[in-house]
A and B are shown apart, each in its own frame.
Chain A
Amino acid sequence: MAAAASGSSPLTTHVLNSGDGVPAARLALSLHRLDSNLLIWNLLTVGTTNEDGRCPGLISSEAFTAGMYKLRFETGAYWERLGRTSFYPYVEVVFTISEPQQRFHVPLLLSRFSYSTYRGS
């Protein structure tokens, strides 16, 4: 279900554990695209961040069409594995892609009681 091996994904993410000042490794995430007719989310990719908090191969250029996407980060499970509680059971970032020929970087800076995201390149 992951992206093609050739070429890097036009959509990337990077999860940082800002509470501890380390990449958030082994955090489960999933990418979804909204079916605009049925108004349901289609699961495109599931993955886990590597030691650097990244998850290469999210989607291929061919599959990356204009539309509404959702990146869901299993943050609650991540903190639980570290033996801590957190305020957010999960984080979902929903964003609109109008120009799929561009590259989009959707990082997540995460602590137990806060998070932020931005559109990067």
Chain B
Amino acid sequence: MSVQRLQKLQGHIVSASKSAAMAGPSSPLTTHVLNTAMGVPGSNMALSLSRQDPSTAAWSLITTGTTNADGRCPGLLTREMFTVGVYRMRFETAQYWESLGETCFYPYVEIVFTINDPSQKFHVPLLLSRFSYSTYRGS
């Protein structure tokens, strides 16, 4: 089953707040994708943010998006939605490299992180090449 098909099915099953934080203050959680192999932002990459239910361990989709020309995806969520919990950012990396005519060692990248203090700002970037990636907690 293709990734696109899975994403479509996911969207039907789980109600996702796609509009998220369109207007108003910026998201307390941000990301930035850099294509370190080519020295450019990772633009037009599909990504999604999910939160884990602490009692059932099931994942709920919060938002999907695509990085802009600068490799960023504003409006991931609002302060109100940003509760304590375990979150997962998923980046469609192979799809991204495929659109550039290349293969990638990683079909996708999922970064799972714990938010204990949602009053802070969190920056979860992805530095990516075809055969490597790194991430860090930024501000």
Contacts and interface: CB of A to CB of B under 8 A. Distances in A.
6 contacts: A68-B107, A93-B106, A96-B107, A114-B134, A114-B137, A116-B132
B47 interface: no
A115 B1 CA distance: 30
Contacts of A88: 111-114
B107 A117 contact: no
A41 interface: no
Interface residues on B, range: 20 to 34
A66 interface: no
Nearest to B115: A87
Interface string A96-121: 10000000000001000111111100
Interface string A78-101: 000000000111111111100000
A90 B112 contact: yes
Contact of A113 (B106, B108, B131, B136): B136
